[in-house]
Amino acid sequence: PVSCGVVGTAAPVVATAEGDDGRWFRQLAVPQGLVDDLVEEALVWCSQHGLVVGEKNHPRSGKAPGVGLLHAPFALLPMSFPKVYWEQALELAPLFNELVHRVSLDGDFLQQTLARTKEVDPFTRRLLDIHSKMMELNKKEDIQLGLTRSDYMVDGATDKLLQVELNTISTSSNGLACGVSELHRNLIRHHERELGLDPASVVGNTAITQHAEALATAWAEYNNQSAVVLVVVQAEERYMYDQYWITVALREMYGVTTIRKTMAEIEAEGDLRPDGTLVINGRPVAVVYFRAGYSPADYPSEAEWRARLLIERSSAIKCPSIAHHLVGTKKIQQELAKEKVLERFLDNKSDIENVRKCFAGLWSLENDNIVNSAIESPELFVLKPQREGGGNNIYGDNLRETLIRLRKDGSNEIAAYILMQRIFPPASPSYLVREGTFVRDNVVSEFGIFGAYLRNKDKVIINDQCGYLLRTKAASLNEGGVVAGYAFLNSIFLT
């Protein structure tokens, strides 16, 4: 039996300046007298440089660009970040890209691993149904494009970099993450003397240029000059400016046209030519870039599911394919963490070791000992359903009650969830700015490394890390998404 002792301390570790040997994540301190000026300068900078989101209370802010804008939430100064973790995460990026691809090719593994989840989770069932239809058709995806993001936290008790999850669909914030590192560099440059910091230590972010390059290269591989990149979006999207960063880069740097459509519009306007070409209102589509379609709310009717199937049946390059999407489920993450499973997909021993090193404790609810431990000490665990987009996990008393209920019912519903070791990153104070005002809070951070993987048959054209996302939230909170409203954008000050 695995004891709860393995999962670290129950409280966030607070990093102090004293005895700080540079290993710690720490929010950079802001001199008292400088806070108001920095906040004001930062707010002006955001407004002038597109570090913006749609405002919640404005009726049209999610529907039309240019109305109801608000600066994105951000931490006032970057976080000092030890080089060792940065380098470790960069090194892992191509390994995870390759792993996603290899797992995606093993249709039976995906179907079998998710078979029990399928019985109790209608959303996962619909995805798997499309996937098995493609298996029956023996559908091959010659050109595969993955824009991924592997998210990590550093566990304060063990100093280990641990993976929170691996995102394979709609990996967002690539646009705004670039903006915030520019913002921080700018503030530090203007106040270099007062802050005593070198602006060059703020790590520049290449997420937009590299993701645009990957999309443009995929578009070129498709080899149809008149084809467009189709961006799948939600009908209302207050995060649209994050998405516009990449579509504008595609147009300006590569001359590639993008069109934005909801799943319902794709169903209404889309068609397949006899050769498999996806056309929207008669325009051929080279690449389908999903910035929606990851959540049940994106499929309010059968029309959206028909659209997803249409896309999957087509010859367009899907970012991601249904198989790549499924590899990103929490259940697959948990299965890959089991003994001897990585070995099925990766050959190189040291690669396997490096990947495994960043796995936190992950368990299925069929493991009675772990369920007992979690009922006893729910604060040491996170209960996760097969969902994306933040705000879906279960913590604390709620976790305990859910487990007790599931156990009492003896229901198959347990297969909808996985249990994960709760990670407690080191905490330190920071100024957080939202809706034009700041608070000072004790915070923790999660950081993600974007990746790009492009392959045409046997040829790997791109397999690289592509910049980063650093998100900071109050240490007292459970969840941490920026879109979901919990976290603040931040950047890395390498030490």
Q: Is 390 in the site for ligand ADP (CB under 6 A)?
A: yes
Q: Are strands 362-364 and 381-385 parallel, antiparallel or unpaired?
A: unpaired
Per-position DSSP letters for 98-127, written without gaps between them: HHHHHHHH-HHHHHHHTHHHHHH-HHHHHH
Six-digit token pair at 252? Answer: 């300006």
Cβ contact 211:291 at 8 Å? no
Cβ contact 51:491 at 8 Å? no
Q: How far apart are CA 419 and CA 482, in angstroms?
A: 23
Tell me, yes or no, if 330 is annotated catalytic: yes
Smaller CB separation from ligand ADP, 168 or 247: 168
Per-position DSSP letters for 328-367, written without gaps between them: TSHHHHHHHTSTTTHHHH---HHHHHHHHHTB--EEETT-
CB of 451 to ligand ADP, least distance (A): 16
Residues 269-298 that bind Mg ion (CB under 5 A): none
Tell me, yes or no, if 83 is annotated catalytic: no
Tell me, yes or no, if 410 is annotated catalytic: no
Could you tell me the CA-to-CA distances from 431 to 75, 181, 473, 493 in Å, in that order? 6, 16, 11, 16
CB of 163 to Mg ion, least distance (A): 11
Smaller CB separation from Mg ion, 38 or 487: 487
Question: Of 190, 209, 479, 495, which one interacts with ligand ADP (CB under 6 A)?
Answer: 479
Minimal CA–CA distance to 229: which of 239, 238, 218?
218
Q: How far apart are CA 363 and CA 360, in angstroms?
A: 10
Q: Is 12 in the site for ligand ADP (CB under 6 A)?
A: no
Give the relative orientation of helices 240-254 and 174-190 as an angle to the nearest 10 degrees. Answer: 90
Residues 406-445 that bind ligand ADP (CB under 6 A): 420-423
Tell me, yes or no, if 331 is annotated catalytic: no
Residue nearest to ligand ADP (CB): 480
Could you tell me the CA-to-CA distances from 259 to 16, 99, 316 in Å, in that order? 49, 31, 14
Give the list of residues 6+ apart from residue 485 with CB closer than 8 angstroms, or none.
Answer: none
Amino acid at 444: V
CB of 69 to ligand ADP, least distance (A): 25
Smaller CB separation from Mg ion, 27 or 393: 393
List the catalytic residue out of 61, 104, 170, 172.
172
Tell me, yes or no, if 165 is annotated catalytic: yes
Q: Is 203 in the site for ligand ADP (CB under 6 A)?
A: no
List the catalytic residue out of 471, 473, 481, 490.
471
Question: Of 98, 121, 265, 388, which one interacts with Mg ion (CB under 5 A)?
Answer: 388
Question: Of 4, 13, 51, 164, which one interacts with ligand ADP (CB under 6 A)?
Answer: 164
Minimal CA–CA distance to 161: which of 237, 92, 112, 208?
92
CB of 240 to ligand ADP, least distance (A): 19
Question: Of 167, 170, 210, 465, which one interacts with Mg ion (CB under 5 A)?
Answer: 167
Q: How far apart are CA 14 and CA 413, in angstroms?
A: 38
Smaller CB separation from Mg ion, 113 or 148: 148
Residues 94-153 that bind ligand ADP (CB under 6 A): 151
Smaller CB separation from Mg ion, 167 or 314: 167
Question: Of 257, 367, 377, 392, which one interacts with ligand ADP (CB under 6 A)?
Answer: 392
Smaller CB separation from ligand ADP, 314 or 393: 393
Q: Is 35 buried (19+), middle (13-18) or exposed (0-12) by CB count in 10 A?
A: middle
Q: Is 480 in the site for ligand ADP (CB under 6 A)?
A: yes
- Give contact residues for Mg ion (rule: CB under 5 A): 165, 167, 388
- Give contact residues for ligand ADP (rule: CB under 6 A): 151, 164-165, 360, 382, 384, 387-390, 392-393, 420-423, 446, 479-481
Catalytic site positions: 149, 165, 167, 172, 330, 384, 388-389, 471
